[in-house]
Amino acid sequence: MNFTGSKSFWKASGGVAGILILLAILIAVNVIVSNMRARVDLTEENLYTLSDGTRNVLKQLERKVTLKLFFSSSDPAVPMQLKSYADQVTDLLHEYRKAAGSKVKVEQYDPRPDSDAEEWAQKYGIQGQQLGLMGPMIYFGLVVVAGDAEQLVPSLDPRTQQMLEYNLTRTIYRVTHPQKPVIGVMSSLPVLGRPQQPMMPGQPPAQSQPWTSFADLRRDYDLREVDVNVESISDEISALVLVHPKQLSPKTLFAIDQFVLKGGRLMAFVDPLCIADLESQPQASPYQRPSASSDLPELFRAWGVGYNASEVVADMSAATRVRGAGNRVEDSLVWLSLGRPHINRDDILTTQLENVLLPFAGSFSDLTGEDMTFTPLLSSSTKSGSINAMSAQYGGDALRRQFRKGGTALPLAVRLSGTFKTAFPEGAPESPVADDDESDDGESAGESSTGLQSGESAIILVADTDLLVDRFCVQEVNFLGMRGQQPINDNLNLLANAVEQVGGSSDLIGIRSRGTFSRPFDRVQALEQKARDAWQTREQELTRSLQETQQQLREMQNQKESSQRFILSPQQQAAIAQFRERELEIKKELKEVRKNLRRDIEMLGIKVKAINIALMPLLVALGGVGYGLGRRRKH
């Protein structure tokens, strides 16, 4: 018997069996893993991890919720980018199911043509959009169902990816909390829309569209318009939002005062220069601009808040690039682009905000006592100062010449909390009445209308109104034939966070805009700011030199005889020549500043490209060489 051949046979058979067993194990592991959804979030801001606010909403669910996703996944005409985003949505929905356990159920439907899934999508209100002239109908929407209640997300747009978790959680919250809080809105601007005069007699008045910021709030709140001449505020209103309150009557101010002292929550947007107000008013004459400022002077004094309605804030570190007069692009110091350094990161209302735009904003100062807490939410930098509101409208070189750094940060949005004192210690203001109408009944009525003298509450103040105007916070987009509004900054989030804090659920605050997918070039911005500081200093030096020389020329001119007034003396000619020489020197220095700025930015770009292109291959190569040397040493 050939033992050698038999031994070789069993050895070869054992090797083949081992390979087959290993292959079977790999197939089994692959099948198991393919049905698992394991993700590791390596982003700095945990963009793909459920926030604490979402987990709190899911923990508080009292009834089961079904998430029904309708997506035309089997249609080959669907763009790959849309399919990739649909996978992200699906992953997020399964994260909701894992976090909520048995309280959340996820269902996926593929609405093929003439299928039951397509019929259900249409019944829920998800309208298919046709790709191209003869293309197929594409469905991509979500329905949230809880018992008999249902809420619809008609389209899931990849461009609003950073708002996906907030929109999903808000929809779940709405369907499980159908009773909406009542929020009062008082404004001198048509923030909720306003009937317009008909173009032709007999036609019904047209309704202007509400601002996007308030149209979005209507999804979660019962917004009720409060007349600017109101003398009492309904007890049904849990929070009041004031937008650009202009010249309110004493009776209306007293109503707001008593609303706060009764514990009502208040949010007020005032403005030293409201662009929306200016644009809505016709010019009285080319030399007279209408008043576009708003203020609550009596209430601010009682609350211990300083505010100057005739000054706007200019900040060199928050300048915004805008298109000015003559279609020239310039960095405006009064259009404030506030980033992380300007935002209070320790407050839940603002901790998740990344970028807020405030055009022509004012500022507040803390004059409160021991019973009040004054908390800045948004602030300028120490490179800021105040400028007259009328002068700020002209912008450009004139604005920079007037600008002076104050050296202190100016609060742009604040929260007040504690015990508030009334602004009307003597009671409600009396209505103007005739002398013969006065009676004992009137005296008793006046004595009974003394009102509350103090009370606990919380107030949020913002020294700008234009941040809520559509063109400063959203841009119009079109997705699958549906028009919508896409946020361009966190202005809407600031309003929604504040309203939720004063009148809604605080859980949603920590979800909204919890991260951004665009990363700013902080080093480049720092270089630009450094050069801008140097430019500003040199420009002011040149302006001062010009003013001094002009003053010298005027003095020389006054010393001359009347017959010699229009003839330049040798001293004047020398002074002019000296100034022109100095002017050329400073202009050369300014050119050098710009040249150095461009050079530093270009060098930084080269370094970034070198790191991105060469560093990783170099690390891999070094790793391979190290691995090879290690193996050689072992052998």
% pLDDT > 70, the chain: 69
The pair of three-digit structure tokens given for residue 631, joined into one six-digit string: 């193996």
389-433 pLDDT, tens digit each: 887 777 666 666 677 777 889 999 999 988 999 999 988 887 765
Which of 153-162, 419-428, 447-456, 476-485 bottoms out in mean pLDDT, i.e. has the lowest? Answer: 476-485
> Residue 82's pLDDT is what?
87
> Candidates 1.20.1250.20, 3.90.180.10, 3.40.960.10, 3.40.30.10; correct CATH number of 52-175?
3.40.30.10
pLDDT score at 459: 93
- Residue range 180-206: mean pLDDT, rounded: 74
Assess contact for 81 and 42: CB atoms under 8 A: no
Residue environment code for 100-121, b if the CB has 16+ CB neighbours within 10 A, otherwise e:
beebbebeebbbbeeeebbeeb
Partnered with residue 385 across adjacent β-strands are 314
The reported pLDDT for the residue numbered 412 is 96
Question: Does 178-193+210-281+290-428+449-504 match 52-175 at the fold level?
Answer: no
In this prediction, residue 516 carries a pLDDT of 46
| Cβ within 8 Å of residue 366, ≥6 positions away | 304, 305, 306, 374, 411
Query: Alpha-carbon distance 574 to 70, whole Å?
Result: 82
555 band by pLDDT with thresholds 50, 70 and 90: low
Mean pLDDT of 367-389: 90
Cα–Cα distance measured from residue 90 to residue 84, given in angstroms and rounded to the nearest whole number: 10
**In the predicted structure, residue 618 carries a pLDDT above the cut 50:** yes
pLDDT of residue 551: 65
In whole angstroms, give the CA distance from residue 226 to residue 242: 9
Q: What is the DSSP string of 389-407?
A: HHHHTT-HHHHHHH----S
State which of 327-331, 407-411, 557-561 shows the largest mean pLDDT.
407-411
Arithmetic mean of pLDDT, 338-365: 89
- Token pair of 479 as six digits: 């997705």
Please name the residue that has the structure tokens 């576009």. 292
370: pLDDT strictly greater than 90? no
For residue 113, what pLDDT is reported?
85
First-to-last C-alpha distance (Å) of the chain: 41
- Residue 286: per-residue pLDDT: 43
Give pLDDT, residue 446.
43
Residue owning tokens 């000619």: 573
> Is residue 602 predicted with pLDDT exceeding 50?
yes
**pLDDT of residue 566 exceeding 60:** no
C-beta neighbour count of 279 within 10 angstroms: 9
Q: Is the pLDDT of residue 306 over 90?
A: yes
Q: Give residue-wise pLDDT tens across range 231-286.
A: 999 999 989 999 999 989 999 999 999 999 998 999 999 999 999 998 887 654 44
The domain limits of the chain are 52-175, 178-193+210-281+290-428+449-504, 523-634
Residue 141, classed as helix, strand or coil, is: strand
Element housing 377 (H / E)? strand 372-379
Distances (CA, A) of 430 to 426, 438, 445: 10, 12, 10
Q: Which of 120, 119, 126 is nearest to 155 (CA)?
A: 126
pLDDT tens figures, 100-139: 888 999 999 999 888 899 889 888 888 887 776 666 788 9
The token pair that represents 79 in the structure block: 């763009």
For position 391, what pLDDT does the model report? 78
Q: Find the helix packing angle between 522-559 and 570-610, rounded to 10°.
A: 180
For the chain, the residue count is 635
Ramachandran region of residue 326, left (φ > 0), alpha (ψ -120 to 50) or beta?
left
Check: CB of residue 234 under 8 Å from CB of residue 276: no
Largest Cα–Cα distance of the chain, in whole Å? 141
399 compared with 368, residue with greater pLDDT: 368
The per-residue pLDDT for range 167-185, each reduced to its tens digit, is 888 889 888 888 888 999 9
pLDDT on residue 518: 46
**β-strands 140-146, 149-153 pairing:** antiparallel
* Helix, coil or strand: residue 45: coil
Average pLDDT, the chain: 79
Where is average pLDDT lowest: 124-128, 311-315, 525-529, 584-588?
525-529
Which percentage of the chain shows pLDDT scores above 90? 27
CA distances from 69 to 36, 110, 140, 179 (A): 19, 9, 8, 25
Contact 386, 410 (CB under 8 A): yes
pLDDT tens, residue by residue, 430-451? 776 544 444 444 444 444 457 8
> Stretch 92-99: mean pLDDT, rounded?
90
By CB neighbour count within 10 A (0-12 exposed, 13-18 middle, 19+ buried), where does 393 fall?
middle
State in words which class domain 178-193+210-281+290-428+449-504 has.
Answer: alpha beta
Supply the pLDDT for residue 18: 73
- Residues 605-623 have a mean pLDDT of 73
CA dist 315 and 338 (Å) reads 10
Question: CB of 347 within 8 A of CB of 414?
Answer: no
pTM of the predicted model as reported, rounded to 2 decimal places: 0.63
Per-residue pLDDT tens digits for 44-75: 555 567 888 888 889 988 889 999 999 998 88
**What pLDDT shows up at residue 633?**
75
Identify the pLDDT of residue 6. Answer: 62
Residue whose tokens read 């003839």: 567
